[in-house]
Structure 1
Amino acid sequence: MPQMPLKAIKYDEVLREWLKFAPKKAYDSAGTSAFLLKKLPIEYVATITILFNRCAENGSFFHAGKIAKTICLSKEGMYPPEHKLRPISLLPNLAKWFERIMHSRILQWCHDYNIAVDEQSGFMKGRRLQTRVLALTENLRLTVAACNRPALTIFVDFQSAFDNMWHPALIKSLYDMDMPLPLLKWVHTWLQNRQLFISYGDANSRNIKMEVGAPQGSVLAATLFRMHVHLLPKLLSRFNTHMFADDLAITITGSLEKRFSHNIKDIEQQADFAMKQLEKFSEDVILPVNVNKTKALLIHSTVAPPHPKIKFKNQNVDHVKSYKYLGVCISTKLGWGTFINERIKKIKKVYNAMKIILMKIPLPMINIRKKIFLAYALPHFCWLFVNWFHYTDNQKITIDHTYCTGLRIVYGLHGWDDITTLTISREKSLPDYLYIYWSRLKIHLEKSPDALAFQQSWTEYQIITGEDNTWYKTMGFRKNSFFPRRLGERAKHTLADLQIFENIHKQQHETFKKNTSYINMFVYKFFLYPP
């Protein structure tokens, strides 16, 4: 490709990215580290700006920045087999500095020309993983509220998506999106002639050429992959699709006016069309699908239903009873026991470690003890907040009790019940954290483009449960039909439950922390009241 100069790089751009560097001490292939770059006198930023502009004049990327140092970490044990190694690439930090400046420009171009899809939540500012989980689960809940209406979700696994990204197909995708030619040429140059070497101790392997894929550890690689699969949701527009980076979920729902058996046949036909569209996309961009890891989950409320047959390139897609999607375990009956139990097991492991650590931290140093709890235990509870309003009352009580157990460990209140623990510690209760969490998430769900599917599910819920029954007749139901009325009674939605929770908890928020009446009653009962 001919030389195409980039727009001149400004000193402010270089300084901004320099300030963002985390001071990591790991050495890269050039023998430098982010820690060393952070220690540079600020006067050197002007010199580095000149260096970057030399590259910008040619629209190129320096060759030494394309060599990655790769170390392999063990996934299990001291002597792991080859498939149990996790490779970590360390790119030259100076090259990453330049790359981040270009990444900011590409993101700005995406923002200016609205290069984004509502179905994608990964690698984008202002979009959240929780949105995808909620959009999927709310859609499934409303679908199976009708007994005759199953839903099929196909979880697609792209085989080593980032490592198998074919460069010509990526460049074509960017060209089709009308990326400016100077940026397009720079991306092409950035991808070409990349190499890596394996480092173990003091020994280094020979350099190995990278013919496909994007460099691991690069901030630009994730954005390029998102743009690479930009058109995929459009090919599957007749279905509910959810994407987070390379994790794709395709949901096919049954019709309300059909019998369950007819819905299964209809879903099978739609699944066949979806797989053909996916096969076409996979071949066009040469992005293989790992059929062995691609799974189908039939969500229903009946007993022993027939499963629709699904094939990708004449290879059967297996059905599973549950699937972990973005860290959340979804089952055929939308039960949450497995997900909650797995998370509580992790919390208990944290508690066991806390008990050992806190033995050496006396109670007078309570702030340090609290910070350990908030840093290592509380994030696990936040994972449970996303689908909180899907849980049963007993499941909520179990989670709340587990939280209070952590407070007992922090404050040394062994043997006291949950209410007394909250009273003595004067800490926020779990509903307090839930209230704060959802107050923020609710704002995001109202405004974010990737929450469109969630917003549509809320509209669907309001129609189903509303007093206007004119939609019955459009689907062939009588106005006073028992079936639609039962659907309205069975339908549930997170926002409806959230409104009830907010109305109740608003007056009780941080009661144990700010109100002294409970602690006064405790003192009176146990210390002042005559025996």
Structure 2
Amino acid sequence: MLRICKDSYRRKLEANLQQNNVRDVWRDENDHWDEWGGNVNPHVMVTTGQVRRQLMKLHQRKAAGPDGITPRLLKTCADQLSPVLGYLFNLSLMLERVPLPWKTSHLVPIPKKSRPSEPADYRPVALTSHVMKVLERLVLAQLRPQVEAFLDPLQFAYQPLLGVDDAVTYLLQRAHMHLDGGGDTVRITFFDFSSAFNTIQPLLMGEKLRGMGVNGGLITWVIDYLTGRPQVVRLGSVLSDMVVSDVGAPQGTVLSPFLFTLYTTDFQYNAESCHLQKFSDDSAVVGCTGGGEEGEYRTLVDNFVEWSERNHLRLNVSKTREMVIDFRRKKLPSQPVRIRGEEVEEVEDYKYLGVVIDNRLDWKANSEAVYKKGMSSLYFLRKLRSFNVCSKMLELFYQSAVASTIFFAVVCWGSSIRASDSNRLNKIIRKAGSVLGFKRVSLESVMERRMLNKLLTIMDNDQHPLYQTVDRQRSIFSHRLLQLRCRRDRYRKSFLPQAITLFNNSNNSGLTHALLNVPMGV
């Protein structure tokens, strides 16, 4: 790459010197135009300070990439390497090319389920150079501000202050409001894509970025980043033959997830009775229907399927599911959704982003799944104690295996579960406390603290999809929030009404700001 750059630079200087005008020799040397119609300089440049800051953020315990360079080395020698890497990074951006060693990746198959039986049960995670990861973070910082206005507000993945909790609570809030307000039915189609990241078309990605007004040189760099990628599969110490990929975005890199959100951001829909929400490639069409009027919902499903085909995203109809939420005693028979002539299977519950949602919204299936997984983790905690493992390691295992299982997305379901399910989960917590030798925080305490923190986060983020719903409840006479009108107990026990009650109670006791400083761990 250095040789190519020097030759190109020499030819430019020689051409200018032939003009016999010293003043014009260096003119336009900082301007670089390409087929995408953008100017690389001065818009896409990195500084030595930016490079150093990213090097200092590297996790030293991470394994080395295919180039053998460890993050420990990069972090330890950040002061010495920052100027060199900064020069190489700017050279890469100027030439709109990514060096092959930086693009080379080792694909490690990670099982999607406990007992994989076929290649489709594995997720190919790419191990790439840590030098490239630093450059990707710097490019991401340049790219995000240029496309901020085009991002889907209902894309909950890879966005600041948004996550699984927000995606699930938003879906449930829309469903509860419709059903509590006199609506008949909520229909949800959960789409399943086959290897979504691997089907991104680089040239189509470039067209989408150009439509967002992204710097032309950066677009060309992104296309080069996505094409001509040498890849090998690594299983243990065995490597497969190398294959060069020109399609898709490698999973496990810094830039690919955000590029995927940009690839899918041109299909957005958010109406009063229907909306499409996304969490990376996990997409769900939610239709709040009444009186048998399902035309808008079915049209949205058809349009999304058609858009997916145009953008080369392969829908797996056999794994796509529909769930119908209807609390009426006399339910009308529902016509199944069809995709490419194939009926979508209707289910009573569905695991969405790690949370099991059922068509009764009573969280019985999710509570059972959490209980079984919690008991399994508790068994291993007891085994570790029988091996005389130190208390510090036992506490670490509890936090990472037991507590993370029980309290995952607790803000979505914690206030709505039955008393018997709550008691069973608290029993696991008490048993874990006896193993560790001290009392653990109860499910209710963790739930209330996290619910209040989540509500405060929503109130401080005007880009949050639930911000307007909460903002409308602000009282003009005090710092309290007006309670939502809830006709049924099911809605009253859901996240937002319960969080508003906690907020008002904490304001009365002066604990709101104190709770914000409580660590989220348990």
Please give the TM-score of this superposition, normalised by the length of structure 2: 0.79
What is the count of residue pairs matched by the alignment?
Answer: 463
Asked if structure 2 preserves the Cα contact closer than 8 Å seen for 1:279 and 1:312, the reply is yes
2:430 corresponds, among 404, 418, 424, to 404
Q: Report the Cα distance in structure 2 between the residues aligned to 1:456 and 1:240, rounded to whole angstroms.
A: 16
Higher relative contact order (CA 8 A, sep 6+): 1
Residue type of the partner of 1:132?
A: A
Q: Report the Cα distance in structure 2 between the residues aligned to 1:430 and 1:75, rounded to whole angstroms.
A: 29
TM-superposed CA distance for 1:309, in Å, is 2.8
Equivalent residue for 2:485? 465
For structure 1, list consecutive stretches of 5 or more residues without a partner in the other structure. Answer: 256-261, 412-424, 467-486, 510-531
Q: Report the Cα distance in structure 2 between the residues aligned to 1:508 and 1:401, rounded to whole angstroms.
A: 31
Equivalent residue for 1:438? 451
Equivalent residue for 2:356? 329
Are the structure 2 counterparts of residues 16 and 314 from structure 1 closer, same or farther at C-alpha, using a change threshold of 3 Å? same
1:378 aligned onto 2:403? yes
Asked if structure 2 preserves the Cα contact closer than 8 Å seen for 1:164 and 1:212, the reply is yes
Are the structure 2 counterparts of residues 134 and 273 from structure 1 closer, same or farther at C-alpha, using a change threshold of 3 Å? same
Equivalent residue for 1:284? 310
Residue type of the partner of 1:101?
A: L
Q: Report the Cα distance in structure 2 between the residues aligned to 1:501 and 1:439, rounded to whole angstroms.
A: 6
Secondary structure at the aligned position of 2:207 is classed as helix
1:65 aligned onto 2:102? yes
TM-superposed CA distance for 1:273, in Å, is 0.8
Q: C-alpha root-mean-square deviation of aligned residues, in Å?
A: 3.2
Residue type of the partner of 2:485?
A: T
Are the structure 2 counterparts of residues 58 and 387 from structure 1 closer, same or farther at C-alpha, using a change threshold of 3 Å? same
1:189 aligned onto 2:209? no
* Bigger mean CA deviation after superposition, 368-377 or 56-65: 368-377
CA deviation map 1:22-44 (0-9, x unaligned): 22453433233333433436212
Asked if structure 1 preserves the Cα contact closer than 8 Å seen for 2:226 and 2:246, the reply is no
Equivalent residue for 2:176? 141
TM-superposed CA distance for 1:314, in Å, is 2.1
Q: Report the Cα distance in structure 1 between the residues aligned to 2:99 and 2:62, rounded to whole angstroms.
A: 23
CA deviation map 1:291-320 (0-9, x unaligned): 112111100113554122311222222211
1:452 aligned onto 2:465? yes
For structure 2, list consecutive stretches of 5 or more residues without a partner in the other structure. Answer: 1-33, 474-480, 512-522
1:301 corresponds, among 318, 324, 327, to 327
CA deviation map 1:208-235 (0-9, x unaligned): 1213111222111110110111121148
**Which structure has more helix as a fraction of its residues?**
1
Secondary structure at the aligned position of 1:243 is classed as strand
Residue type of the partner of 2:307?
A: F
CA deviation map 1:409-446 (0-9, x unaligned): 222xxxxxxxxxxxxx4654433322321221111122
Q: Report the Cα distance in structure 2 between the residues aligned to 1:78 and 1:122, rounded to whole angstroms.
A: 27
Please give the TM-score of this superposition, normalised by the length of structure 1: 0.78
TM-superposed CA distance for 1:106, in Å, is 1.0
Q: Report the Cα distance in structure 2 between the residues aligned to 1:305 and 1:56, rounded to whole angstroms.
A: 60
Secondary structure at the aligned position of 1:121 is classed as coil
How do 1:18-417 and structure 2 match up within 5 A?
18-24=55-61, 26-40=63-77, 42-73=79-110, 81-111=118-148, 114-145=149-180, 149-200=184-235, 203-234=238-269, 239-255=274-290, 262-263=291-292, 266-267=293-294, 269-303=295-329, 305-361=332-388, 369-383=394-408, 384-411=410-437
Are the structure 2 counterparts of residues 491 and 234 from structure 1 closer, same or farther at C-alpha, using a change threshold of 3 Å? closer
Residue type of the partner of 2:340?
A: K
CA deviation map 1:212-268 (0-9, x unaligned): 11122211111011011112114878622221111111111123xxxxxx42xx12x
Q: Report the Cα distance in structure 2 between the residues aligned to 1:62 and 1:19, rounded to whole angstroms.
A: 23
Asked if structure 2 preserves the Cα contact closer than 8 Å seen for 1:147 and 1:302, the reply is no
Secondary structure at the aligned position of 1:307 is classed as coil
Residue type of the partner of 1:57?
A: M
CA deviation map 1:384-423 (0-9, x unaligned): 3432122223322332233222212222xxxxxxxxxxxx
TM-superposed CA distance for 1:347, in Å, is 1.1
Residue type of the partner of 1:336?
A: W
Q: Report the Cα distance in structure 2 between the residues aligned to 1:500 and 1:76, rounded to whole angstroms.
A: 39
Equivalent residue for 1:495? 496
Q: Report the Cα distance in structure 1 between the residues aligned to 2:81 and 2:489, rounded to whole angstroms.
A: 68
Asked if structure 2 preserves the Cα contact closer than 8 Å seen for 1:135 and 1:451, the reply is no
TM-superposed CA distance for 1:148, in Å, is 6.0
Asked if structure 2 preserves the Cα contact closer than 8 Å seen for 1:242 and 1:248, the reply is yes
Residue type of the partner of 1:350?
A: S
Asked if structure 2 preserves the Cα contact closer than 8 Å seen for 1:123 and 1:223, the reply is yes
Asked if structure 2 preserves the Cα contact closer than 8 Å seen for 1:131 and 1:450, the reply is no
Asked if structure 2 preserves the Cα contact closer than 8 Å seen for 1:240 and 1:251, the reply is yes
Residue type of the partner of 1:441?
A: K
